[in-house]
Structure 1
Amino acid sequence: MSKTISPTFTFVKDGVFYFSRRIPKELRRHYTSPRIAYSLRTRSAKVADARARKAADQLDEYWFHLRSKEAQFPGKHMLRLSPSADGGTSLSQPVSVSSFVMLSEALTLYLDQKGQGRPATFQRAAERACAYVIDACGDKHLDVYTKADANAFRDTLIARGLAGSSLTRVFGTVRAVTNFAASEQGLTLNNPFAGIYYDRDAGVSDRNAVPIDALRLIQRRCREVDDELRWLIVLVSDTGLRLAEAAGLSRDDFVTQSDGSVVVRVQQHPWRRLKTKGSGRDVPLEGAALWAAQRILAAPTSSKLAFPRYNKTDTTNANAASAALNKWMKEYVPEGCTMHSFRHAMRDRLRAVECPADIVDQIGGWQTEGVGHGYGSGYPMDVLRKWMKAVAWTDMVYGS
């Protein structure tokens, strides 16, 4: 079988085509890397070829302008002294060239500077958002984009079927990339991607909380089946942990306190990062969650991980967990409820026992607004446990 030849200026990684072009030596001082490389977001050689050629042509044009700014332009010695505003004379000036980088270069700068130590999703989100802009409006100098371009970009996203919440994330990423690049260059940018109107609620489905009767039924069924998947469901259902947080737990993250009580420690691991800095926390285990922790720790295994089936690679596979668990839960919950709905339910359950909002935030790892909440180290464990006990008692899941 003959080997498939990639289109010019591309290479293939995991079946996806990437654009790659080396920067000319005389222009490298303008860049933070000797090569421009980014995903073309396609598995089609034909589409990749078209996008790569377009990107190469744009780079050739921009590099011509860079070289022109530094070269002695033709006929400089023949320029006429023209009248100036004050009645004197001045040398005629050549047409000015944009001082801003192109969007593709801004993306490279943004990822090089702000992408260090960030998860792969951070890079993919930035690449995806900028690829959307380039597909809709072309790769231009940042100050060349207009409000009409931004509106066309919005219309393209809507045509792709993106919900209002997705549009908000994409526009936020594009603004972050363009504003950061302008700031790094010491230039002021009137960002056309700011203040664009669209319906932020369009296509956004309500995130329903799991009703208490459905939650009790699921927990009973999980105790009957009594396996690794059901332990994970129960642990999430009675703690409000994010699914990725729970799926990436180590067995050592279940910590027995001096009084014999147990907490689950949500902390960053090499195989699973935290969503936000404030997501690290200790959550008291009561009710069904305590039962799940006991079953996890009693399971005969040589793995240090609580859920090894979702940690077979270097990264916790929360997507696989979500697909499997949502499928199993489907017959027990109303339409629209998923594993994430347990997190909404936990907030409602804590509200029902009149738990203060900042304690709810600490238990769930939500950000609490206000400067003052950033001071100190939060509520002591016995206070958190009091409210988790109140929730477990209210729901009367298993009894003592």
Structure 2
Amino acid sequence: MPLLALSPIVSVKVKHLWKKPTSSLLYYRRRIPDDIKPLLEASRSEWAGKEQIVISLQTDDPKAAASKIAKLAEQHDKEWEQLRNPSKAGALAQAESFLRARGIDPGAPKADEEALGIFFDMVEDGLPTKVKDHLQEAYEHDYPINPKRDIEPYLPPVVATAFQIAQGRREFTLSDCLDQYVASRSEKTARSGKIAFGYLRAFFKSDRPLGSIRRQDVNEFVKWLLAGEHNDDGKPITTTTVTRYLNCINAAVRRAIKENELDIKNQFSSVEIPNAGKDAQARLPFDLHQLKSLHRAVDEWVAVKGWDQPRCIVTVLAETGCRLAEVTGLASADVYLDTETPYIDLKEHPWRSLKNETSIRKVPLTPRAMEAIKAAQIISADSKFLFPQYTTVEQCSINSVSATLIKWVRSRSGFENAKVDNHSLRHSMKDRLRAVQCPDSVQDQILGHKSQGIGAGYGQGYPLEVLAEWLNKAVAAVWV
């Protein structure tokens, strides 16, 4: 560890610093730990097969070199920690690469007995001395050896996984299935997968191998969900929700079987759900009287407590017919009030997707919707999001705002037994537009529905002012 001269009388030692005798440049030099060397090979690192890392710092200034060394050391510490403790999916991928690099086919590890023997010798050589002595004693006295108990705890995760594959003991589990599914899907779909698999693992009370799951297990899982045993409060869920969970699991398992060439059946395919669809409840729209009561409730709230984000959102929903996620996930830049026809611009965002291409549209704002939007702008201040209470760069939390609004609406006078929710306001707008005999094609453009007929795909649609005229006609009856 060379000394760095900071002044004529002050010198310090800097770890990982090296200087070639024939050069004025300084280098970062660091020994690669023994347990990391095989993991670098498995991950196909540029440092695989090396004893140490040597990187030119492109400077002869000791102070500048010290700063660069600190960053490189931190970077390698993080990388090595990830190699030592990878995710299950990461460990599996690295383990397979690790075996291939040694001439072993993960799909048929016994095809090359010589390569397999060399690998097993390598695994044993890497074990602590006390473990080797224990294994030697077991060999001499013909004691049974349990690899899972006697060997794997002393191996790095990647090597342990490779050892399982080489011995034909590696079983593809629910966690493996979920990890691969999540990595291949959008954030929204991945989130649904995590929920469904979370319930499945809770049902089994363990991370079961896919090959050990039987059809009877799946049928019992369905009954478990329908009975509400997955909830702390024991609240049952609908057959439609169970179907959605199963569809997600089925897709993940089907993908796992195909991509990993698993010789197992997909027990989640074509599962029969008792009384499927018969418990579905029709979503009722708000009638005219209820719409008036809703706005009156908002006014009473605002008069006492002022505008807040939930009341702004529900007002915009009622006055535009937009979906909850479309409004909640608005960026501040999506709002255009200083135009001849004020509107909101609905488009895809990293934190909030849209249902389909026809959902991408411009929706004019009624005077009441503009009032709520302006209030939301004041509340959100300089935020990138119109409703930052529910939207971040990572996600749009519609479940949170939905629960808040449903609870609030159903607690208002006249709504105690009403079977309405946030989406009911979208159905209500459809009825309001019908009531004023708005053309179907205009309704579709306002609500983001796909219009029927060959001509529907021609042109750019109706101008905003036309949409605004029909929208204002539709809500006029609410304010009479």
Alignment-derived partner of residue 246 in structure 2: 171
The superposition leaves residues 169-197 of structure 1 with CA deviations (integer Å, 9 ceiling, x where unpaired) of 11110111012223334679753322222
Supply the distance in 2 between the matched residues of 1:372 and 1:153 (Cα, whole angstroms).
46
Supply the distance in 1 between the matched residues of 2:442 and 2:261 (Cα, whole angstroms).
42
Q: Secondary structure at the match of 1:201?
A: coil
Alignment-derived partner of residue 341 in structure 1: 424
Alignment-derived partner of residue 134 in structure 2: none
The superposition leaves residues 256-293 of structure 1 with CA deviations (integer Å, 9 ceiling, x where unpaired) of 476x11111123445x4124343332111225324433
Q: Secondary structure at the match of 2:386?
A: coil
1:67 Cα shift? 1.6
Q: Aligned in 2, Cα 1:373/1:204: closer, same or farther, shift over 3 Å?
A: farther
Residues 164 and 200 of structure 1 are in contact (CA less than 8 Å); yes or no, is this contact kept in structure 2? yes
Q: Aligned in 2, Cα 1:246/1:316: closer, same or farther, shift over 3 Å?
A: same
1:292 equivalent to 2:372? Answer yes
The superposition leaves residues 35-92 of structure 1 with CA deviations (integer Å, 9 ceiling, x where unpaired) of xxxxxxxxxxxxxxxxxx9xx99x99997763235xxxxxxxxxxxxxxxxxxxxxxx
1:380 equivalent to 2:462? Answer yes
Which of 163, 172, 182 pairs up with 1:111?
182
The superposition leaves residues 110-144 of structure 1 with CA deviations (integer Å, 9 ceiling, x where unpaired) of 112224xx24xx33321232243344456555466
1:67 equivalent to 2:172? Answer no
1:245 equivalent to 2:326? Answer yes
Matches within 5 A, 1:119-158: 119=188, 122-136=189-203, 142=210, 145-158=213-226
Which of 208, 211, 230 pairs up with 2:284?
208
Larger Rg: 2
Supply the distance in 2 between the matched residues of 1:30 and 1:203 (Cα, whole angstroms).
52
TM-score by length of 2: 0.54
Residues 231 and 295 of structure 1 are in contact (CA less than 8 Å); yes or no, is this contact kept in structure 2? yes
Gaps of 5+ in 1: 1-18, 32-52, 70-96
Which of 473, 477, 480 pairs up with 1:390?
473
Q: Aligned in 2, Cα 1:242/1:28: closer, same or farther, shift over 3 Å?
A: same
Supply the distance in 2 between the matched residues of 1:358 and 1:187 (Cα, whole angstroms).
50
Matches within 5 A, 1:213-232: 213-223=289-299, 225=302, 227-229=306-308, 230-232=311-313
Q: Secondary structure at the match of 1:228?
A: coil
1:276 equivalent to 2:355? Answer yes
Supply the distance in 2 between the matched residues of 1:176 and 1:356 (Cα, whole angstroms).
40
Residues 246 and 268 of structure 2 are in contact (CA less than 8 Å); yes or no, is this contact kept in structure 1? yes
Supply the distance in 2 between the matched residues of 1:202 and 1:310 (Cα, whole angstroms).
34
Supply the distance in 1 between the matched residues of 2:299 and 2:223 (Cα, whole angstroms).
49
Which of 252, 256, 272 pairs up with 1:181?
256
TM-score by length of 1: 0.64
* Higher RCO (Cα < 8 Å, 6 or more apart): 1
Higher mean C-alpha deviation, range 283-292 or range 293-302: 293-302
Matches within 5 A, 1:292-311: 292-296=372-376, 301-303=381-383, 305-311=385-391
- Count of residue correspondences: 320
CA RMSD of aligned residues (A): 4.3
Alignment-derived partner of residue 39 in structure 1: none
1:216 Cα shift? 1.5
Supply the distance in 2 between the matched residues of 1:170 and 1:297 (Cα, whole angstroms).
38
Q: Aligned in 2, Cα 1:30/1:296: closer, same or farther, shift over 3 Å?
A: same
User: Partner amino acid for 2:463?
Assistant: M
Residues 181 and 190 of structure 2 are in contact (CA less than 8 Å); yes or no, is this contact kept in structure 1? no
Higher mean C-alpha deviation, range 219-228 or range 239-248: 219-228
Residues 380 and 387 of structure 2 are in contact (CA less than 8 Å); yes or no, is this contact kept in structure 1? no
Supply the distance in 2 between the matched residues of 1:66 and 1:300 (Cα, whole angstroms).
54
Q: Secondary structure at the match of 2:479?
A: coil
Alignment-derived partner of residue 234 in structure 1: 315
Supply the distance in 2 between the matched residues of 1:375 and 1:249 (Cα, whole angstroms).
26
User: Partner amino acid for 2:255?
Assistant: F
Supply the distance in 1 between the matched residues of 2:203 and 2:425 (Cα, whole angstroms).
39
Supply the distance in 1 between the matched residues of 2:335 and 2:94 (Cα, whole angstroms).
57
Residues 214 and 332 of structure 1 are in contact (CA less than 8 Å); yes or no, is this contact kept in structure 2? no
Q: Aligned in 2, Cα 1:319/1:213: closer, same or farther, shift over 3 Å?
A: same
Supply the distance in 2 between the matched residues of 1:243 and 1:267 (Cα, whole angstroms).
14
Supply the distance in 1 between the matched residues of 2:93 and 2:185 (Cα, whole angstroms).
25
Q: Aligned in 2, Cα 1:308/1:143: closer, same or farther, shift over 3 Å?
A: closer
Supply the distance in 1 between the matched residues of 2:284 and 2:343 (Cα, whole angstroms).
27
Supply the distance in 1 between the matched residues of 2:289 and 2:352 (Cα, whole angstroms).
33
Supply the distance in 2 between the matched residues of 1:254 and 1:306 (Cα, whole angstroms).
9
Which of 390, 398, 401 pairs up with 1:321?
401
1:239 Cα shift? 0.9
Supply the distance in 1 between the matched residues of 2:218 and 2:98 (Cα, whole angstroms).
27
User: Partner amino acid for 1:391?
Assistant: A
1:207 Cα shift? 2.6
Residues 228 and 307 of structure 1 are in contact (CA less than 8 Å); yes or no, is this contact kept in structure 2? no
User: Partner amino acid for 2:362?
Assistant: D
Q: Aligned in 2, Cα 1:262/1:127: closer, same or farther, shift over 3 Å?
A: same
1:308 Cα shift? 4.4
Gaps of 5+ in 2: 1-85, 100-148, 230-235
The superposition leaves residues 238-263 of structure 1 with CA deviations (integer Å, 9 ceiling, x where unpaired) of 112233332333343222476x1111
Supply the distance in 1 between the matched residues of 2:93 and 2:331 (Cα, whole angstroms).
49
Q: Aligned in 2, Cα 1:377/1:177: closer, same or farther, shift over 3 Å?
A: farther
Supply the distance in 2 between the matched residues of 1:308 and 1:105 (Cα, whole angstroms).
35
